Structure 1
Amino acid sequence: MKHFFSSAFWFVILLLAFTSCRSSQPNSSDSEEIVKLTFLHINDVYEIGGVSGGKYGNLARVAQLKKELLEENPNTYLVLSGDFLNPSVLGTLKIDGKRISGAQMVDVMNAAKVDFVTFGNHEFDLKEDEVLERINESDFEWIASNTFYYANEKIQPFTRDGNKLPIYLTIEPQNSAGESIKVGILGITTKYNQPEFVRYTDEYETAKNVQQEIESKTDFTVALTHLLESEDEKLAGIVPELKLLMGGHDHENMKFTYGQTIMAKADANARTAYIHRLTYNKKTKGLQIDSELKSIDNSIGYEPVTKVAIEKWDNIADSAFEAQGFDPNREIYKLKEALEAREALIRTTQTNAGTLIVDAMADVFPEAELAVLGSGSVRLDDQLSGVVTEYDILRMLPFGGKIYQFNTSGEVLIQFLDAGIKNKGSGGYLQYQEKLKFDAQKGWLLNGKTIEKEKQYTLVTNDYNLTGKENNMEFMNAETNPEIKNVISSDDIESPQSDIRKAVIVYLEKL
């Protein structure tokens, strides 16, 4: 009897263990209901190669990461959430008299096998024909939910190879069992930059209407957005059905959850990328999103095809710079401390990079009382350290452009400086020499003295600040404002007055 009890006891234990093991394994019918997909997400990429001396970034690394993720999950998509055609120092160059204007970006993105993009505001820094050419040269799909082409007094979709850009896309990832799902993708762009050939519909109403249109056709919807973080939050509130906002426009990485919507942005210039792994259960309709911020650094190799494309454009750039009188590899100065040119800082506070540039501007116009720079001219979005080369200066100030001296009243000067404060956080924020201070009681002080409204001042600024096109600075149009007088510069291409980059190089050599 005792023996029988012992045998029965162990039989029960083994049976329970076997049952437990079976229940811990995924049910085969449940696993067939699971479909996984991955988005490799970058935004605001202006440099095809690396930044910080090659330590971070480089689209060949991004392409290699995509290859590795495809091995993990064949339902992997590389997306770029706007801002890539402009600005960059390469984009300012000319081949056979024609400006490159983002052609290098499209070529390298094609090599990297980018899947989907949406427009950023900087795409529309380019001329109409340039934008149309870049779209037609692209192998990747553009999603334009609220961005349209205006021509012949007609609002219409942009086209690629004669086909209208979609206001949304539907992708159908499937699992190994052949079960698939339908995922909608929107592309929403801020209205920040609107040349004559572009028209926008309202970001929020458009997203809401498109979501309602495709809701019955899809299992869930995500969006590529090029909006400010506060606008992403508003979008998630108005269209809570959007499960994931893969954002851009802000250049620093962030991740927030608004209600049931996840929003994430990577660091500009592919310093980092977000890897969004989505798991959908067809049976329960449950969606799980796991987002990983991945550093794009030397821990990742270079995908060969993309690497070759980057090297091709680097060689083109070297030849073009030399034709302009620049030697990209020439070392000009060894920094004692890093120059701070990250956009998040130079557009919100005075930095040593801004001070260096305005001092260089003043150096070529020694009679001027003050030099002022629009921080939007500085596009390095990085820190410079160690030995500075001419290419570093070209990257920092890709637009180049003339430096102008002019006279104006203290009243206009105060208005100019106040507008710079209003523009905090954008390219219209001003950098100026250390001789200028703001006192809460006395107002603006130049060399310790209050700026007088009736007095005339001799100033130096960059070319864009005299167009009246900057936010809150319409009055700074040198052609229409009679208070802006005696505007001078130099047409001699050898003169540092003719190119702000040459002015900085000359100034550093003097130091």
Structure 2
Amino acid sequence: MRNLYKYILTTIVFLILISCSKDDTSTNSIPQNELKELTIFHINDPHGQIANFSKIKHIVDQEKEKTNVILVCSGDIFSGNPVVDNHIEKGFPMIDLMNKVGFNISVIGNHEFDYGEDILKDRLNQSQFNWVCANVAMNNTNIPEPDEFKTITINNLKITFLGLVETNGKENDVIPSTHPWRVKNLTFEKYQNVINNFAQVKQSENSDLYIALTHLGESSDINIANNYPYFDLIIGGHSHSKVNTSINNIPIFQAGSYLNYLGKISLKVKNKKVESLDYTLINLNTYQNKDNSIQTLIETYNDTANLDDVIGFSEVYHNRASVGSFYTDALRNEMNVDITFQNTGGIRNDLDEGNILKREIYSIDPFNNGSVTYTMSVAEIKNFLKGSKASIYYSGVSSITQENNTIIIKDQNNQTIDDNTILTIGVNDYIPAVYDTYFTQTPTLLPYTTAETLINYLEHHNTPINYTSINSYFKYQ
């Protein structure tokens, strides 16, 4: 993309240089047949979970006493922990901890965009580690442009990382899986359209290793290994998988999610090729040792978050489907509308029996989505459900069902609602942003997020909640 001309020029210069220096026997050059050792530690999809950073610091520091070490992240560092997502500087605890633990590099993940342009700009500026992503252009947003690829030199080793992010966020558009209104000034390309531009990076950078640091998901990593075999390794994220495999002789790794695991890749490199490789997936939840200074910082962030206020009571455990029924019912009551919808992917946690804390609501709904209302006919609602095939929870009607190709919506008295009936609809603003073909009106914007709506409802609703007997799920098949 933006640096392609520079890259081509660098490649030409490199080729000229090597053609003019056939047998460089300079005493300053490092013999290519020297065996070089390296350990790469990697995480992916931590989603704001901070508890195990003190363990990572301890592990990494111990390894640095033995060999060369690089610490990398495969994206999605934000969205999923209210301590991080509702900090006065949204996301900063993750950046602060990653700086202090000693991360070297991260690819941008789709959830890095969740907070919006201004906040992303601040977080990137605060990072003391490198960011890479070859298929995004920040344009005129003042967000720092990540490097398409970055070479890290450690002692006698040169390791180059190419970054790629997924772009499956919206039908008929090329954006990551984030709120479309928060990336409207950025430009993305499918990774397949740019990856060939970087086929010769290992040669032009004269690197010992060339690594794809991706946030694409396991299936896309496999596709890269099969069809774009330029890489010595692929370290991935996005699909929250635990991956340790080799495709087309290219090792592929992924370390689960939520900072439960730390991947350890132990390498021996010779003649710019991997001579040997050992892999360990470290379970951080069972690892006992911690770095005390990082642990103190983690505890400070947790203690100052003020998220342990009791705001309600749950009679029973609610799985995510039951939470969806509660969620939409609370929105409907608080927003004072006829019907509410919630995308199933926006319910990110279950709800335990007993006291309900603020942090639980923010864990269920971590995305800071706004609350909006529309006025639509039942026919328009059916058109949205049928055309989008969205998986949704709902409240305000007794049932939404499908008979052959027909959607039937029945009111609270179990009577079929006519297509011409006009209803007010409450949703989070992610839904109309993604499915804008079906939400063409100008919405009414409410002055609180959907998470704040749930908290307001619970604080003024004294009855214990129990939605386990309600089934309010629909998806057009």
Interval of TM-score (by shorter of Structure 1 and Structure 2): 0.7 to 0.9
Q: 1:441 aligns with which of 368, 379, 404?
A: 404
* 1:375 and 2:363 correspond: no
Gaps of 5+ in 1: 1-31, 51-57, 175-179, 319-326, 342-350, 424-428, 481-486
| 1:115-134 mapped onto 2 (5 Å cutoff) | 115-134=104-123
Preserved contact between residue 496 and residue 502 of structure 1 (Cα < 8 Å): no
Residues in 2 aligned to 1:293 and 1:248: alpha-carbon distance in whole angstroms: 15
Give the Cα separation in 1 of the matches to 2:460 and 2:270. Answer: 63
Q: State the partner residue of 2:17.
A: none
Whether 1:389 aligns to 2:331 is: no
For residues 286-297 of structure 1, the aligned pairs below 5 Å read 286-297=274-285
Task: Give the match for residue 469 of structure 1.
Answer: 433
* 1:119 to partner: Cα distance: 0.9
Question: Structure 2 residue aligned with 1:500, among 422, 430, 454?
Answer: 454
**Amino acid corresponding to residue 439 of structure 1 in structure 2:** Q
Deviation at 1:353, TM superposition (A): 2.0
Larger Rg: 1
What CA deviation, in whole Å up to 9, does each residue of 1:75-128 have, x standing for no partner?
Answer: 222211112244653455464xxxx12222211111221111111122223343
1:166 aligns with 2:136: no
Secondary structure in 1 aligned to 2:289? coil
* 1:92-491 superposed matches below 5 A: 92-93=85-86, 95=88, 100-151=89-140, 159=144, 165-172=146-153, 180-191=156-167, 192-193=175-176, 195-215=183-203, 217-282=206-271, 285-318=273-306, 328-330=308-310, 332-334=312-314, 336-337=316-317, 339-341=318-320, 351-364=321-334, 368=338, 370-380=339-349, 384=352, 387-399=355-367, 403=371, 406-419=374-387, 421=389, 423=390, 429-433=391-395, 435-441=398-404, 443-447=406-410, 452-465=418-431, 468-470=432-434, 472-479=435-442
Task: List per-residue Cα deviations over 1:482-506 (Å, max 9, x = no partner).
Answer: xxxxx596x5x8x999623332555
- Give the SS at the match of 1:306: helix
Contact 2:40 2:265 (8 Å CA) reproduced = yes
Pair 257,145 (structure 1): closer, same or farther in 2 beyond 3 Å: same
Q: Secondary structure at the match of 1:44?
A: coil
Gaps of 5+ in 2: 1-32, 168-174, 466-477
**1:398/1:497 Cα in 2 relative to 1: closer, same or farther (>3 Å)?**
closer
Matches of 2:404 and 2:219, distance apart in 1 = 33
Aligned mates of 1:237, 1:383 — CA distance in 2: 42
Counterpart of 2:41 in structure 1 is 40
Distance 1:33 1:188 in 2: 31
Superposed displacement of residue 225, structure 1: 0.3
Deviations 1:345-392 (A, max 9, x none): xxxxxx222122112223436772x43113354344x67466532221
- Over 3 Å counting, the alpha-carbon distance change for 1:508 and 1:475 in structure 2 is farther
Match of 2:13 in 1: none
TM superposition shift of 1:442: 5.9
Corresponding position: 1:84 with 2:72: no
Task: Give the letter aligned to residue 63 of structure 2.
Answer: L
Deviation at 1:150, TM superposition (A): 0.8
Q: Distance in 2 between matches of 1:211 and 1:34?
A: 25
Q: Give the 3-state SS of the residue equivalent to 1:129 in structure 2.
A: helix
CA RMSD of aligned residues (A): 3.5
1:60 to 42, 54, 61: 54
2:76 is paired with a residue of what secondary structure? coil
Between the two proteins, the alignment pairs up a number of residues equal to 417
Percent pairwise identity = 21
Secondary structure of 1:274's counterpart equals: strand
TM-score (norm 1): 0.70
- Cα gap change, 1:442 to 1:218, in 2 (>3 Å): closer
Contact kept in structure 1, 2:362 and 2:451, CA below 8 Å? no
Aligned partners of 1:232 and 1:271: how far apart in 2?
21
Q: Distance in 2 between matches of 1:264 and 1:415?
A: 42
